[in-house]
Amino acid sequence: MAGHNDSSVSEKKSSQAVDDLPTFSAENMQNNMKVIYYSRTFLSIIGGVIAGILGFTGFAGFIFYFLIMAITSVGLMAKAKFSVHSYFDSWNRIILDGFLGGLLSFVLFWTFAYDIVHIF
């Protein structure tokens, strides 16, 4: 995740976000969205494997997923140096985007790791 972020979030936007005028470079913005998507997918897969190895079942696993996603959000915010508006057009991008997208990957890898480690 750090590698992804290093390469692209650090590209400074053309906007200084001091004004109400949105001056965003569409390409950079898309790049940032892609970074968010990648980080979330990556972390949901890793989180799934961890949850499986630790042997979470039922509700605990889903709570773990939401915890992971919340940590991701905080991490992305820290990466943006808490000045979200110079990288994204709204807070929702960081907090909500792709929140449920990784769930299927998470469940798959959770099941996979859990099965391999625990049920056989």
Partner 1 sequence: MAEDLVLDTAIRDWVLIPLSVVMVLIGILRYFVSKLMRSTSQVPDLKIVKEGQVIVRARNLRSAANFIPPKSFRARRVYFSNEENGLLHVPKGQAPNPQAQMFSDPNMAMDMMKKNLSMIIPQTLTFAWVNFFFSGFVAAKIPFPLTQRFRSMLQNGIDLSTVDVSYVSSRSWYFLNLFGLRGLFSLILGEENATDDTQRMMQMSGFGFDPTKNLGAEKDSLDIIQHDWALPKFEQRAEKVLRNLIR
Q: Which residues bind partner 1 (CB under 8 A)?
A: 16, 18-19, 21, 26, 34, 37-38, 41-42, 44-45, 52, 55-59, 61-62, 101-102, 104-105, 107-112, 114-116, 119-120
Vertex 44, ends 106 and 104: CA angle to 5°?
30
Closest approach, Cβ 102 to partner 1, in A, equals 6
Tokens 């469940």 belong to residue: 107
Closer CB to partner 1, 46 or 77, in the complex: 46
Closer CB to partner 1, 48 or 80, in the complex: 48
CB-based contacts of 5, cutoff 8 Å, min separation 6: 35, 39, 76, 79
Closer CB to partner 1, 51 or 94, in the complex: 51
Closest approach, Cβ 81 to partner 1, in A, equals 15
Burial class (CB in 10 A: 0-12, 13-18, 19+), 77: middle
Closest approach, Cβ 120 to partner 1, in A, equals 5
Tell me the residue ranges of DSSP E strands in 1-120.
Answer: none
